[in-house]
Amino acid sequence: MQQAVHHRIIARSKRLLDLAGSIGLDARDNDETALRKRVAVVLFGGTLPLTIAWSAIYLAVGAPLAAAVPGFYSVITPINTLIFARTRNLGIYRFTQLLLVLILPWLLMISLGGFRQSSAVVVWAALSPLGALLIDDLRGTLFWIAGFIALLIVGAILEPYLPQANLPQAFITSFYVLNVGVVISITFGLLYYFVDRRNFFQLRAEMLLLNILPKEISEALKASPRTIASAATVTPSANVSATRMPRSCRSPTPANVGKSAATSRTRLRRISSSQ
Average pLDDT of the residues in 157-184: 93
pLDDT in tens, 127-161: 999 999 989 988 889 999 999 999 999 999 999 99
pLDDT in tens, 25-74: 777 788 788 888 888 998 999 899 999 999 999 999 999 999 999 999 99
Least confident range from 77-86, 101-110, 159-168, 193-202: namely: 193-202
Is residue 5 within 8 A of residue 22, CB to CB? The reply is no
Residues 33-63 as b or e (16 or more Cβ within 10 Å = b): bbbbbbbbbbbbbbbbebbeebbebbeeeeb
Supply the pTM of this predicted model. Answer: 0.68
